[in-house]
A and B are shown apart, each in its own frame.
Chain A
């Protein structure tokens, strides 16, 4: 329950608060005197007796409030950090189950285990995420209909476990790149601009997109100030995204080249990394890591802080004179009865 800006774990304890009046309504400590008129009039004693009652009430109240366990509730604070907001777009198609950077013909046709492209991507992305303390990550589920599975979050555990889950099981038969790109942009919709916004695509191929889709993506990405990084996991060593002079004629019409052309034409910051080996993949991740340290507004979650100590201190401060005075009375009474 919230009260006075604090969160109270046991608010029912408040019902006991009338107990603070007890010291004012009892005479347990009164000495029976035969005739009260015999007691000398002593203003100092009156003041002391009043003070002790007040102190007793304060101690009881403070202890009650401490037992109710107040705490400052969990809250977010904004601070400036360095980094970026990154949406991960990991290809989940069947081809990502194939081995990455194969050198022998035989390996090309075997079912890949730990060296499948999806697992390799998992390894490097995990390392990348761990290196970037301030970044906010989001994750798009890349299937027939893509879904913004994990909206931008600061939780490293959540994003790492989503990346981990992505490496399990088999790939999906059907993926839709245009839809996934659109959804990635939607992650930033209605979000204040905090800093560099990146869509990081990791895939081993491209897909042809309709003109409408391309137009829409261009518009969205420009409006929302996004950058695209594409880590292209090469299947064929000789193939490059940029056309070259001694090109194989088969490469010219490949969908990945079309996608590359399209990304370049959007007019937003775009970098493609062609990774043909583990080293190249690692280098690409390092380069993105180095480039993306711009000022970023970071929202930090401050966990709830117990504040019972305030009241315990108050109780202690009131208790010290109270206890000493009672010890003193005990000493005095013992002396008198000796």
Chain B
């Protein structure tokens, strides 16, 4: 079908007029408010000795668990929409130490990365690694922060000294009151743990006779002591303690994800459990308006003659 000449002229004039109005709207229409979901998070990174084990793959390289944790934290912060907040904390000994309470991720990205890059085994103030207790302190401190952040706890789950299955430190708070995710790091094979000296420098590996292999409290209890005695002496070696972290996360009402491959996995998990906030952002519609004007104009100039039968 071919439009008559007057019709074509009419349609062209109409399209030109609409395009003109669209361009004007693109220039002068004020930005509209759009709501996006943002959340507050607190990344707690394990900096104990077992995190120096090189058994996680990153691309084609094998890197230390700590480096992986830092890189994963960086990517996760980068994946959060602007307006989200992220804080940083480290854990060593039996407690978590918050170093920066949550700040807006886009405006403070540089500072967050600066601080993250400083996280080093040298910061550890003691040479033990009591994961459960550290997790409890992280939860307790998260409650002191307003708005309360979702805790992301990055660890390999290695408890040193070991904890007996029945003699866990008590969690006195309400499970799930503070939402959180434990991110498990590390390979599944038992490997030697680099040992750091008092300056945090790596000096050889932990030897079998330098670490405790049993829960000391269990030793004094008849029934538990028996079980304790049958344990293999492997506490100087480390792997990702998945079942332990699953137990711990159930106890405190956290989610557990093991060796996630993309930051999206964590973000999705966090969105499910966090109290997200709606944050209005200004959104300029000019791209849409200019696109409409453009498409209309192109409609005028498309070579229709190629598709329609030419009149003789």
- Listed in ascending order, the chain A residues whose CB lies under 8 Å from chain B are 10, 19, 22-23, 25-29, 31-32, 56, 59-60, 63-64, 66-67, 69, 141, 143-145, 147-151, 153, 155, 157-158, 161-162, 164-165, 168-170, 172-174, 306, 308-309, 312-313, 315-316, 319-320, 322-323, 326-327, 329-330, 333-334, 337
**Pick the contact of A60 from B96, B103, B294 — CB < 8 Å?**
B294
Asked if A320 and B20 sit within 8 Å, CB to CB, the answer is yes
- Measured CB to CB, the closest approach of chain B to A91, in angstroms, equals 14
Does B311 sit within 8 A of A, measured CB to CB? yes
Q: Is B123 part of the binding interface, using a Cβ–Cβ cutoff of 8 Å?
A: yes
Do the beta carbons of A32 and B294 come within 8 Å of each other? Answer: no
The answer, among B17, B110, B115, B302, for a CB contact under 8 Å with A327, is B17
**B19–A323 touching, CB < 8 Å:** yes
Q: Which residues of A contact B114 (CB under 8 A)?
A: 150-151, 153
Given A66-B286, A169-B141, A315-B293, CB of A157 within 8 Å of CB of B108: yes
Q: Which residues of A contact B258 (CB under 8 A)?
A: none
Cβ of A150 and Cβ of B16 under 8 Å apart?
Answer: no
Chain A residue at minimum C-beta to C-beta distance from B5: A31
Which A residues are CB-close (under 8 A) to B294? 60, 63-64, 67
Closest to A311 in B: B290
- Neighbour of B6 across the interface among A63, A66, A333, CB < 8 A: A333
Q: Per-residue 0/1 for B48-75: is the Cβ within 8 Å of any A Cβ (1 yes, 0 no)?
A: 0000000000000000000000000000
Cα A320 to Cα B20 in complex, Å, equals 7
Are the C-beta atoms of B13 and A329 separated by less than 8 Å? yes
What does DSSP make chain A's interface, helix, strand, loop or mixed?
A: helix
The contact of A326 among B13, B26, B27, B137, by CB within 8 Å, is B13
| B232 on the A face (CB < 8 A) | no
Asked if A22 contacts B290 (CB within 8 A), the reply is: no
Contact, CB under 8 Å: A143 / B125: yes
Task: Count B-side interface residues using an 8 Å CB cutoff.
Answer: 63
Known: A145-B122, A308-B290, A334-B6. A155 touches B111 (CB 8 A): yes
In the complex the two chains form, is B141's CB within 8 Å of A312's CB?
no
B24 close to chain A: CB less than 8 A = yes
Assembled-state Cα–Cα distance A330/B13 (Å): 6
B227 on interface, CB distance cutoff 8 Å: no
B33 within 8 A of A: no
From A164, A170, A316, B23 is in contact (CB under 8 Å) with A316
Q: How far is the CB of A66 from chain B (nearest CB, A)?
A: 5
B101: chain A residues at CB < 8 Å are 161, 164-165, 168
CA of A306 to CA of B17 in the docked complex: distance in angstroms? 26
B13, A26: Cβ atoms closer than 8 Å: no
**Are B13 and A327 in contact, CB atoms less than 8 angstroms apart?**
yes
Distance A320 CA – B21 CA, assembled complex (angstroms): 10
Residue of chain A at shortest CB distance from B311: A32
Q: Write out the residue numbers on chain A whose beta carbons fall within 8 Å of the beta carbon of B120.
A: 147
- Selected contact of A170 from candidates B27, B95, B102, B287, CB within 8 Å: B95
Please judge, given known A-B contacts A155-B108, A316-B24, whether A141 and B99 are in contact too, CB under 8 Å: yes
Is there an interface contact between B115 and A149, defined as CB atoms closer than 8 Å?
A: yes
Name 21 A/B residue pairs within 8 A (Cβ), A-sorted: A22-B298, A63-B294, A66-B286, A149-B115, A150-B115, A155-B110, A158-B100, A158-B108, A161-B100, A168-B98, A169-B98, A169-B141, A170-B95, A315-B23, A316-B23, A322-B16, A323-B13, A323-B16, A323-B19, A330-B12, A330-B13
Are A32's CB and B297's CB within 8 A? no
Kindly provide the distance from the CB of A68 to the nearest chain B CB, expressed in whole angstroms: 9
Q: Are A22 and B293 in contact (CB under 8 A)?
A: no
A240 to B144, CA, bound (A): 36
Closest to B122 in A: A145
B222 within 8 A of A: no
CA distance A308 to B290 in the complex (A): 10
> What residues of chain B lie closer than 8 Å to A329, measured between beta carbons?
9, 12-13
Q: A67-B294, A168-B144, A173-B125 are in contact. Are A162 and B302 (CB under 8 A)?
A: no
Q: Least Cβ distance of B113 to chain A in Å?
A: 11
Instruction: Write the chain B residue with the least CB distance to A148.
Output: B118
Which residues on B sit within 8 Å (CB–CB) of A334?
A: 6, 10
In chain B, positions 148-169 with a C-beta closer than 8 Å to chain A are none
| B207 contacts partner chain A, Cβ-Cβ < 8 Å | no
Indicate if the CB atoms of A63 and B27 lie closer than 8 Å: no
- Chain B, residues 1-18, CB within 8 Å of chain A (1/0): the string is 000011011101100110
Cβ < 8 Å to A, chain B residues 101-152: 101-104, 107-108, 110-112, 114-115, 118, 120, 122-123, 125-126, 137, 141, 144-145
**B70 CB to nearest chain A CB (Å):** 14
B311 cross-chain contacts in A, Cβ below 8 A? 32
